[in-house]
Chains A and B, each alone.
Chain A
Amino acid sequence: MPSLPVIEPKDVRHAKNAPEGGAFDEGHAAPGKDPLEDAYYDYLVRLGDDSLVLGQRLSEWCGHAPGLEVDLSLANLALDLIGQATHLLNRANNDDGDELAFHRDVLDYRNCWLVEQPNGDFARTIARQLLFSTYQHLLYRELADSPDPFLLGLAAKAVKEVAYHRELASDWTIRLGDGTEESARRMAEGLDWCWRFIPELFEVDETLERMIGLQTVPDPRGFEREYHAALAAVLGEAKLAEPADQRPILGGRRGHHSEHLGHLLAVMQHIPRTYPDARW
Chain B
Amino acid sequence: MAHRHVGSVHAPDPKLALAHARDTYTRRQEGVSLWVVKSDEIVASDPADSGPLFEPAEDKVYRHPTFYDIPDVVKHI
Q: Which A residues have a C-beta under 8 Å from some C-beta of B?
A: 67-70, 72-73, 76, 167-168, 171-172, 175, 179
Contact = CB atoms under 8 A, between A and B. Distances in A.
A69 B15 contact: no
B52 interface: no
B60 interface: no
Contact of A72 (B11, B12, B27): B27
Contacts of A69: 9-11, 20, 23-24
Contact of B27 (A68, A76, A167, A179): A76
Contact-size category for B: 10 to 19
Interface in B4-33: 9-13, 15-16, 19-20, 23-24, 27
Given A67-B10, A175-B12, A72 B19 contact: no
B15 A171 contact: yes
Contacts of A167: 19
Nearest to A174: B15
A107 B59 CA distance: 75
Contacts of A76: 23, 27
Interface of B: 9-13, 15-16, 19-20, 23-24, 27
Closest 5 CB pairs of A and B: A69-B20, A73-B23, A72-B23, A76-B23, A69-B9
Nearest to B25: A72
Given A72-B24, A76-B27, A168 B10 contact: no
B10 A171 contact: no
A74 to B, nearest CB: 9
Nearest to B21: A69
A172 B12 CA distance: 10
A73 B18 CA distance: 12
Nearest to A67: B10
A78 B54 CA distance: 46
Contacts of A72: 20, 23-24, 27
B23 to A, nearest CB: 4
28 contacts: A67-B10, A68-B10, A68-B24, A69-B9, A69-B10, A69-B11, A69-B20, A69-B23, A69-B24, A70-B20, A72-B20, A72-B23, A72-B24, A72-B27, A73-B19, A73-B20, A73-B24, A76-B23, A76-B27, A167-B19, A171-B15, A171-B16, A171-B19, A172-B16, A175-B12, A175-B13, A175-B16, A179-B12
